[in-house]
Structure 1
């Protein structure tokens, strides 16, 4: 799977930090290293597994001996999914050359190979028990991942046939589960690296010793321990939803369910109208057998129609009131029934926990009733709606459920906000309880999901609209990249790439040395010494060339093409095996950069009048905070910053039809030099054109002026797209440098006669008039 730019930056930072540390690691004693320690902090849905896999692959490429990777997590469901994804699923290509096996199935030759890296997937299991010789440990050895103690000892030794100890990289996914005891057991293995990933991460105290050595002896600061992914970049990439809507209730559960189902119906209609390849789903989180005012035993004796267990009440409401077919509903919890009052035959109950997980996921249910036991490991991006019952209503639990609903179906934002929103309907007993929960949720979201908008509704605001359709409907031509003229120059560059398949000299790294621990002597007097390994693992020329292209053209537009798609990457000469520090690798990186430069130079931005134009869709507003406009397509907008608000009001006074363009899900333009898309702030329809306007502060002017103001080819028929940039103050450009002459007024930037031209305006009214001048 191809990485997005922020994913590639994160994985490369982890790998480079590992190499920098490994060149001179700290030692506990002569044969035991202080492990390289790194945390990957990224919100749910950002692609942590992909980033970790790519980091591990890069670390393998730079090592002199093939590493052993122990990839662990707490839950069996998570581990099962990870094994499938890494071995044969969507991430298999990112770990090319690895032998990926469950830890229980590892054989001695898996651990003794110096050339083939092995990745062992396992649960934490019961190896983290206080007494390693206890009966629990024996059961664990017999039945769970760490089958025998000898396997644990082999992991500690992990020696090749030459007696070299293979590097051990430990990856702990879902790292918020990492405990002191688990850390102690993992450190027994003398790992070379410990990488811990989670959306919310606090390292256990046992690792304080490791962190202390790295701080004191290496001078590491807090930021050196962590690779953080910007939540804003994750949101803009389309991987997660851009908005969270929370509806609070102090009512019986039926009104809350009815409101959820009404919103779900609208979302499902939108997906059908737009012919999207998914159906929005809903989850219902509640306690399993808790019943108000009576014991569980008493409730079990009642006939099914009189049962008060909440999964039954929810199921009956969905089936009997909402008329949802039972085959679309799954109940995933250990709901109890008596022999005298069994469950209905049409109820799909999965009460076997992890044993039932595969059967449950195969059903593709649209409504899932469960308790918190399902929340970790279960990911379905089509899940957009959630009901949370009062017993589950703690801020921490709700935040965890939010993580399960944040993933965006299709990894793209749609032009209807109902599909870009995670909808939550939370029922509590008292108003004060909901207020307390909401305060804590705001705090959690501010730290964990700072770039995702939060809208809260209650009895007073529930009837207010938070989604407004455009009136009247409007369209705008799409804009794309035309790169056919780049084919020939890129082909010439690829032909000039040297063939290293028979080259034994230029494919070898120069001056790159690493040390590994090696057994020296016979068994009777064997010692271990650190010896130099002059060469790193060999990788294909294809992987070096392709990675450098993706690094040099890192934006999200790679999904739709980019320079790598104009290269015949399957040419046999790319099969050459080379070392990363070799002259051959340097040659390939240079040629990759030339390919990117040729793509940018010979491609053009063009207006596509052949394909269907972009239709302005509905927008989301905060019912508690918005501003009304008379001439805008939507009538109301929320979230305008001060400059945008000034400009919107001035636009509204021109009597032109205009629209606020939402970031991430609205109309976008490609930035050829950056390989990204950007979303302008406003769209204005004039007689002969659609003016696309972006308002920026001074700090963005240099970046924006170079890439956002360009001539757009095409526009042979119909309206043409015209770009304008507005900044605050009187700004000029001299000798390629931006100079701010005054803080007052505005500067309108246009692209005329092949160069950037500024126009200074004293008021926003003058600025709007200048913006709407179409040559």
Structure 2
């Protein structure tokens, strides 16, 4: 799976930090290293598993001997999904050459064979026990038909056939579950690295000694223990939703569920119109066997239609009143029934075991009733709606459920905001309880999801989110990248790239040496010594080439192609094996950079009149701070900062039809530049006769880009220009003949356009004058 730029940067940061430490690690004793510690902190839905897999692959590339990776987590669901995705699923290609197995299926030969890296997947329950006689003892027992020592002892020694001890990297997915006991057991293995990932990461006290050594003896600062992913990058990539909408209901359950079903029907209608349609799903979070004022034993004896257990009440309302097909509903919890009062035919109840989880996934249910049993591990981006019952409505439990609804289907934001929103409907007994929940969620959003906005239900309408449709409907021509003229220059570069299939000294790395613990002698005479090994594991030219393209050119542009699509990546020369630090690798990286530069130099941003135009969609509005406008496509906008509000009012005075353009889901222009992000969303769209003027009031960051000329000079391929760009920067500035921007003063604004092949700026005293200049097409 291709990584987004932020994912690649995070994975590379972890791998590079590990490699730097592994050259000269701290020691506990003569044969035990102080492990490298790293936490990956990234919001739910950001692709933590993919980042970890790529980091492991990059670490493997830098090591002198093939490593063993122990990939663990607390939950069986998390581990099951990890094994499926890493062994043969969507992330398998990100671990080239790895043998992936469940921990208890590993054979001694897998640990002794240092020609292949091995990744072992397990729940911490396999080994995290106080007494080796307790828990799942298989890991502590000898496999008598295979070895005289236990699997745990073999992992401790991890001796290759050559006598070298193989590096061990421990990866803990959902690392907020890491406990002192688990840490103690893992440290028994003398791992070379411990990498833990979570949206809310805290390390157990058992690691304090290790952290203190790294602080004291290596001078590590707090930032060196953590690789953090900015939530705005995750939102911009389309992996998570843009906003969370929450409604509080001091009402019967039916009222809140009906409100959710109404909004869900609207979302389903919008999703059905997409190029890749899907059906939004809903979860219902409630206690399982709790009944107000009645012992559960008594409730289970009642006839089904008289029972008060909340999953039953919700199921009955969905089936009997909302007329939802029972085959689309599942109760995923240990709901109790008796022989005399069984569940009705057609009700699906899954108790939560391993087999039940498989049935649950294969059932493709659209309405899931559960009691937090799916909190970790379940990953379905089509789930966009959540009803949360009063018994579960504690702030902590609400925030735990948020991640289950935050993922974005298709990794793309859509023009209809209802599809870019995580919807929550919380039923409580008191208004004050809902206010406490909101305060807790606000704190979490600020600390963990700062790029995700929060909308609160309007009491006047009873709806979670107000949506304003454009009146009248308007479109803008699609802007794309025309790269046909880059194909031949790129082919010439690839033809000149050297072929290292025959090996030779240029494929061998130079420089950094790493220590490897080596067993010397045999039997009672054996001893252990640290030896220096200079060479790293070999990787394919293709791997180095693709990674360099990915590093140089922002991944979001994949939707518009990209240089890799103009390269015959299956040529035999890309199969050659070389070391990362070799001259051959430097040559491959140089060719990759030249390919990107050729792609940028010979490609054009163009007005694509062949594809369907972008249609301005509805916008989400928070009525508490909404402002009305008379000439905008949408009657009102909310969330405007002071500068945006000034420009909105100036646009409204022009009597031209205009619209605020939402970032991530609105009209965008692809960029051709090494340094910038790959996609650009202007702030406003203005229709002037047959032309659409895209105006950006934060244009300073674009003015210094080398490709700013291409951004302005949109190629129409012979058709009349329909999209014109204007940048507005604060203060007075001028473009020098050298292309640099010179700031002259702080007052007013400068309006930038492209004339006669050069950047042209005109000063305006205020926002009204700036808008007037921006709309001038003469």
Unmatched segments (≥5 aa) in structure 2: none
Cα distance change on mapping 1:35 and 1:439 into 2, 3 Å? same
| Aligned-partner Cα distance in 1 for 2:379–2:546 | 30
* Structure 2 residue aligned with 1:748: 751
Q: Give the whole-Å Cα distance in 2 for the aligned partners of 1:488 and 1:578.
A: 27
> How has the CA–CA distance of structure 1 residues 704 and 587 changed in structure 2, closer, same or farther, with 3 Å as cutoff?
closer
Answering whether residue 770 of structure 2 is matched by residue 767 of structure 1, we say yes
d(CA) in 2 for partners of 1:645, 1:222: 40
Cα deviation 1:17-59 (Å, max 9, x = unaligned): 0011011100001110000100000000000010000000011
- 1:551-590 equivalences in 2 (<5 Å): 551-590=551-590
CA distance in 2, matches of 1:130, 1:421: 45
Q: Which residue is equivalent to 2:548? A: 548
Aligned-partner Cα distance in 1 for 2:619–2:463: 17
Deviation at 1:710, TM superposition (A): 2.0
Aligned ranges for residues 378-527 of structure 1 at < 5 Å?
A: 378-457=378-457, 459-460=459-460, 462=462, 466-527=466-527
What displacement does 1:420 show? 0.3
CA distance in 2, matches of 1:586, 1:356: 51
The answer as to whether partners of 1:465 and 1:623 remain within 8 angstroms in 2 is: no
- The answer on 1:636 being equivalent to 2:636 is yes
1:584-620 CA distances to partner (integer Å, 9 max, x unpaired)?
1111111111101100000001001121111101111
In 2, the alpha carbon distance for the partners of 1:701 and 1:400 equals 42
Is 1:11 aligned to residue 19 of structure 2? no
Residue 141 of structure 1 deviates from its aligned partner by 5.4
Does the alignment pair 1:661 with 2:664? Answer: no
Deviates further, 271-280 or 645-654: 271-280
Deviations, residues 170-213 of structure 1 (Å, cap 9, x unaligned): 00000010001101110110000000000110111111111100
Among residues 681, 696, 699, which one is paired with 2:698 in the alignment? Answer: 696
- Residue aligned with 1:319, SS: helix
Q: What is the SS of the residue equivalent to 2:396?
A: helix
**Offset of residue 763 of structure 1:** 1.7
Q: Give the C-alpha shift of residue 143 in structure 1.
A: 13
- Is 1:138 the counterpart of 2:132? The answer is no
| 1:65–1:114 Cα contact (<8 Å) kept | yes
CA distance in 2 between partners of 1:649 and 1:214 (Å): 56
1:521 deviates by 2.1
Distance 2:164 2:599 in 1: 46
1:198 corresponds in structure 2 to 198
Determine if contact 1:506/1:582 at 8 Å carries over to the other structure: yes
Which shifted more, 53-62 or 739-748? Answer: 739-748
Shift, 1:459, TM fit: 3.2
User: What CA distance in whole angstroms lies between the structure 2 residues aligned with 1:649 and 1:347?
Assistant: 56
**Contact map agreement 1:701 1:727 (CA 8 A) in 2:** no
Task: Confirm or deny: 8 A CA contact 1:243 1:453 kept in the other structure.
Answer: yes
- Secondary structure of the residue aligned to 2:376 is coil
Decide whether the 8 Å contact of 1:609 with 1:715 is kept in 2. Answer: no
- Looking at structure 2, the residues matched to 458 and 602 of structure 1 have their Cα atoms a distance apart, in angstroms, of 52
- Please say if 1:612 is aligned against 2:609: no
Give the deviation of 1:503 after TM superposition: 2.9
Count residues in correspondence.
772
Residue 712 of structure 1 is aligned with which of 707, 711, 714? 714
How many Å separate the matches in 1 of 2:376 and 2:151?
28
2:247–2:464 contact (8 Å) kept in structure 1: no
Contact 2:104 2:139 in 1 (8 A): no
The answer to whether the aligner puts 1:229 opposite 2:229 as a matched pair is: yes
Describe the superposition over 1:84-126 as per-residue Cα deviations: whole angstroms up to 9, x where unpaired.
1001000010001000011010001110112100000111014
- 1:277 shift after superposition: 2.5
TM-score by length of 1: 0.97
Change (3 A) 1:149 1:471: farther
- The alpha-carbon deviation at position 706 of structure 1 amounts to 3.3
- Indicate the SS of the match to 1:524: helix
Q: Distance in 1 between matches of 2:483 and 2:746?
A: 41
After TM superposition, give the deviation of residue 732 of structure 1 in Å: 2.0
Do 1:696 and 1:725's aligned partners in 2 also have CA atoms closer than 8 Å?
yes
- The aligned counterpart of 1:351 is 351
Tell me the residue number matched to 2:68.
68
DSSP-derived class of the 2:340 partner: coil
Task: Identify the residue that residue 117 of structure 1 maps to in structure 2.
Answer: 117
Give the superposition deviation at 1:461: 5.4
Structure 1 counterpart SS, 2:359: helix
Give the deviation of 1:703 after TM superposition: 4.8
TM-score normalised over the length of structure 2 = 0.97
| Distance in 1 (alpha carbons) for counterparts of 2:120 and 2:620 | 45
Considering only aligned residues, what root-mean-square deviation do their CA atoms show, in Å? 1.8
Over 3 Å counting, the alpha-carbon distance change for 1:288 and 1:32 in structure 2 is same
Aligned CA distance change for structure 1 residues 465 and 201 (closer, same or farther; 3 Å): closer
Q: Which residue of 2 aligns with 1:722?
A: 724
3-state SS, counterpart of residue 136 of structure 1:
coil
2:180 aligned partner: 180
Instruction: Give, in whole Å, the separation in 1 of the partners of 2:374 and 2:359.
Output: 14
Partners of 2:142 and 2:619 in 1: CA distance: 54
User: Is contact 1:142–1:148 with CA below 8 Å preserved after alignment?
Assistant: no
Q: Show the counterpart of 1:682.
A: 684
Alpha-carbon contact 1:65-1:537 (below 8 Å) kept: yes
The question of whether the paired residues in 1 share the 8 Å contact of 2:702 and 2:708 is answered with: no
- The residue number in structure 2 matching 1:342 is 342
CA distance in structure 1 between the partners assigned to 2:585 and 2:337 by the alignment: 65
SS in 1 for 2:655: coil
Q: How far off is 1:136 after superposition?
A: 3.3
Task: Give SS of 1:362's match.
Answer: helix
- Where structure 1 has 5 or more consecutive residues not aligned to the other structure, the ranges are none
Equivalent residue of 1:584, what SS?
helix
Partners of 2:373 and 2:465 in 1: CA distance: 35
Provide the C-alpha distance between the structure 1 equivalents of 2:379 and 2:521, rounded to a whole number of angstroms.
Answer: 52
Given the superposition, is the C-alpha separation of residues 430 and 224 from structure 1 closer, same or farther in structure 2, using an over 3 Å criterion?
same
> CA 1:220 to 1:636, structure 2 compared with 1: closer, same or farther past 3 Å?
same
Q: Select between 735-744 and 226-235 the one with higher mean Cα deviation.
A: 735-744
Give 1:699 deviation, angstroms.
6.1
After the TM superposition, which of the residue ranges 566-575 and 507-516 deviates more from structure 2? 507-516
Q: Output the CA distance in 2 between the equivalents of 1:223 and 1:753.
A: 48
SS at match of 1:64: coil
SS at match of 2:378: coil
**Match of residue 214 from structure 1:** 214
Structure 2 contact 139–152 (Cα < 8 Å) conserved: no
Aligned-partner SS, 1:502: coil
Shift of residue 719, structure 1, vs aligned partner: 5.7
Q: Deviations 1:367-404 (Å, cap 9, x if unpaired)?
A: 11111111211111000000000111111211111101
* Aligned residue number for residue 78 of structure 2: 78
Q: Which residue of 1 aligns with 2:22?
A: 22
How far is the alpha carbon of 1:458 from its aligned partner? Answer: 5.3
Q: Distance in 2 between matches of 1:465 and 1:425?
A: 11
Q: 1:624-661: per-residue Cα shift (whole Å, max 9, x none)?
A: 22111000001111111221111110000000000000
Name the SS of the counterpart of 1:585 in structure 2.
helix
C-alpha distance in structure 1 between counterparts of 2:125 and 2:142, whole Å: 10
CA distance in 2, matches of 1:355, 1:174: 22
SS of residue paired to 1:232: helix
